[in-house]
Amino acid sequence: MADRSVLVTGGNRGIGRAIAEAFVAAGDKVAVTYRSGELPDGVLGVTCDVTDTAAVEAAFAEAEAAHGPVEIVVANAGITKDTLLLRMSEEDFTSVLDTNLTGAFRVAKRASKSMLRQRKGRIIFISSVVGLLGSPGQVNYAASKAGLVGMARSMARELGSRNITANVVAPGFIETAMTAELTEDRQKEILASVPLTRYGQVEEIAGVCVFLAGPDASYITGAVIPVDGGLGMGH
Ligand code: NDP
């Protein structure tokens, strides 16, 4: 299982960083895309903005020159621009879609090129419970995260005969910078709706990604795996 070529987008902080660290701990060769900040130990950092197709291509070229064809890709990079529908500008909507959905498309499309040649691959999208349940003030974000489900399932159908799986991880509320920004009232409200009565930890998302990339998940594709403390009750 070890020594595989893995690429994680947005691996400099939060959930992506924990995912990168988990693959490093599993003994894999891990490339991490980043735009800023510091990288975890043991990874190859490649600068990349996922809204830029040429930058995605260059990041894969650099990662593959160092580690060989990418076998496992985790499309994790994401942003929020929350506001109520009537106040949401078209730019608020399209920029979130461009990063979270089209960005993941750019990354998965480029990854599939290497995977098709190798006749194996694991594509993992980091979605959100919000994509499945909806959330006030997050029309743009929820649309982008729901879009990942249809995209992954289409890829699962298109690439399955080549031994490539495409799955979605849907985190609930995870303790990161993104959740730290929420007001105290909103935090209380959220925790009241989580059966496990706590936030998730980034390692709990990372572990599921390592599982989906591993031999025990070889017959899982097109799945949405909720890691949300029961918030969505399996959706
Ligand atoms: P963070 O805000 O901590 O990290 C986001 C990461 O995405 C950063 O590495 C950031 O890079 C990167 N990123 C953002 N935009 C771009 C871009 N255009 N090109 C390249 N990289 C980019 O978020 P989290 O760790 O909390 O979230 C990670 C993923 O998990 C996201 O997709 C998020 O939607 C999802 N998620 C998070 C939940 C949570 O509770 N935290 C819940 C459900 C889903 P940089 O540092 O350079 O900005």
Q: Which domains does the chain have, with CATH numbers?
A: 5-224 (3.40.50.720)
**What per-residue confidence (pLDDT) applies to 218?**
98
**Residues recognised as catalytic:** 141
Work out the percent of the chain whose per-residue pLDDT is above 70: 100
Reported pTM: 0.98
Model ipTM value: 0.99
Does 179 contact ligand 1 (Cβ within 6 A)? Answer: yes
- Ligand 1 binding pocket includes 126 (Cβ within 6 Å): yes
Please report which confidence band the pLDDT of residue 223 belongs to, taking 50, 70 and 90 as the band edges: very high
- Residue 162 one-letter amino acid: R
User: How high does pLDDT run on average in the chain?
Assistant: 96
Report whether residue 77 contacts ligand 1, using a CB cutoff of 6 Å: yes
Say what the pLDDT of residue 182 is: 83
**Residue 178 reports pLDDT greater than 80:** no
- Of the candidates 14, 32, 17, the one whose C-alpha atom is nearest the C-alpha of residue 174 is 14
CA of 86 to the centre of ligand 1 (A): 25
Q: Is the pLDDT of residue 13 over 90?
A: yes
Asked if residue 1 has pLDDT above 70, the reply is no
Q: Own/partner pairs for 24-29, CB < 8 Å, 24+ apart?
A: 26/1, 26/2, 26/210, 26/214, 27/1, 27/2, 27/3, 28/2, 28/3, 28/4, 28/72, 29/3, 29/4, 29/5, 29/66, 29/67, 29/68
Ligand 1 centroid, distance to 14 Cα (angstroms): 7
Predicted local distance difference test score (pLDDT) of residue 147: 98
pLDDT digit string, tens, across residues 102-136: 999 999 999 999 999 999 999 999 999 999 999 99
Mean pLDDT value across residues 49-66: 98
pLDDT at 190: 86
Residue with CA at minimum distance from ligand 1 atom 19 = 49
